Amino acid sequence: MKIIISFLLYIIFTFSPSFAQSVIKGVVLDRETKQPIHGATVYINNSSSATSTAKDGSFQLHQKIIQNQELVISNIGYEAAFETITTNNYEKVKIYLTRKITTLEEVSVIPFEKDGWAKWGKYFTESFIGTSKFAQKTKILNPDILRFRYNKSSKILTVIANEPIQIDNKELGYMISYDLISFRSNFSENTIQFEGFSYFKDYKRITKSILKQRRVAYQLSMMRFIRSLYEHKWQEDGYVVRELTKKENLERKDAQEKLKTITSLVNTKYEGKWNSFYILQSEIIKDSVTKYQNIMRQPEFYDVLGKQLTESDLEKGSLGNQLKEIHHQNYIHILNRNQKIDLDYFNSNNAYDESSRLKIDDDSSIVINYQGNYTPAIQWSMEGFFAWYSKVGNMLPLDYTVQENNK
């Protein structure tokens, strides 16, 4: 069974790194009282650039300028907010924060789980932080802020946090503050979606081991693949990208229909008693049912590989401001034989190869930039290695650069 994960991470876009630094200036106010908010965290999404507001709610953040970049404001007790920064508004940003509803139990028919972390903590950690060697050393420091709600009829788990999740990634040397906007796991469809804002703070002491681990994390990342696509360096970086189509498994479909018919017969005529069904009729034997059940373990679709693709096959054109638009009507299959895949991927997923499969929604396109950003992520689904690896425990800030002198 394959799990498709759609990540809805908010994305930032900036100009070329050659642009000079400027100062983003603004003020943060309470939406209801219009009073300044002191001590709110102000940061560039998914980066290591951050500051906090003064007593009068004002802030200054030194940052490269900047086009269509997300400035995030976070404070305990308030909903996180963001402002899209442009060259026209970066010196006069005014943000209003809305207080969070504290009586969340009253606005939903389905209550939060009483012992949510005890029941769902392991699953959430593996789905959100990951199970890689980096993720295994990554810890959520304030799990008590998480609230879990499970809908038994729809088989959907949702998770919320009343304040930023504080995360310690020992292997990569980051303290991460993650404003979780939403987390949703649909067990019927085998999909996981989460979205949020994050900023990274380096450990005070960055060792050679940490720098090495960051390079390893980068080599395996979706960020590197997107940067390679943007720079037309697939061949140089070892990526082999091919077109992929999904072919329906007709044998499985036939077995599914037969099992459905047999199950309906057992439920209506034999009151759901399978032993009575096998004894009182002879047309369908137990071995046949077992055979159909085994066939149902096969994948619903087969992957059929097509022609090898180049970067130009995905590009629709340039949007200016260092942005490119990409699209492909079929799945794309990605393999990089030069990469040493984390063995935990095979151990935890029963994976048969190290490939990734990506699919852009029909009639949609993705915008990418030189940093490895891609948006809107909701229109891009992942299967295989990238789906497993693209978790918070393996994340690097978008301003990460490989330090060649430390190889």
When divided into structural domains, the chain yields a total of 4
- Give the model's confidence band at 349: pLDDT under 50 very low, under 70 low, under 90 confident, else very high: low
Q: What is the pLDDT of residues 83-119, one digit of tens each?
A: 877 767 777 889 999 988 754 444 556 788 888 999 9
The answer on 160 and 226 residing in a single domain is no
- Domain with 292 in it: 250-298
Which of 74, 97, 120 terminates a domain? The answer is: 97
Does residue 403 belong to any structural domain of this protein?
no
What pLDDT score was predicted for residue 106? 44
The answer on 311 and 230 residing in a single domain is yes
The answer on 60 and 32 residing in a single domain is yes
The answer on 309 and 229 residing in a single domain is yes
Does residue 391 belong to any structural domain of this protein?
no
The answer on 71 and 46 residing in a single domain is yes
The answer on 129 and 146 residing in a single domain is yes
CB atoms under 10 Å from CB of 153, counted, come to: 6
If one compares 108 and 343, the residue with the highest pLDDT of the two is: 343
The answer on 189 and 136 residing in a single domain is yes
Q: What is the pLDDT of residues 179-232, one digit of tens each?
A: 998 899 999 888 898 988 899 999 999 999 999 999 999 999 999 999 999 999
The answer on 280 and 169 residing in a single domain is no
Does residue 48 belong to any structural domain of this protein?
yes
Does residue 49 belong to any structural domain of this protein?
yes
Which of 61, 79, 97 terminates a domain? The answer is: 97
Does residue 127 belong to any structural domain of this protein?
yes
The answer on 124 and 112 residing in a single domain is yes
Residue 14 predicted with pLDDT over 60: no
Does residue 89 belong to any structural domain of this protein?
yes
Which of 55, 71, 97 terminates a domain? The answer is: 97
CATH code for the domain of 34: 2.60.40.1120
The answer on 313 and 278 residing in a single domain is no
The answer on 137 and 116 residing in a single domain is yes
The answer on 172 and 39 residing in a single domain is no
List of long-range contacts for 208-211, beta carbons under 8 Å, 24+ apart: 208/406, 210/171, 210/172, 210/173, 211/403, 211/406
If one compares 195 and 174, the residue with the highest pLDDT of the two is: 174
Does residue 397 belong to any structural domain of this protein?
no
Does residue 179 belong to any structural domain of this protein?
yes
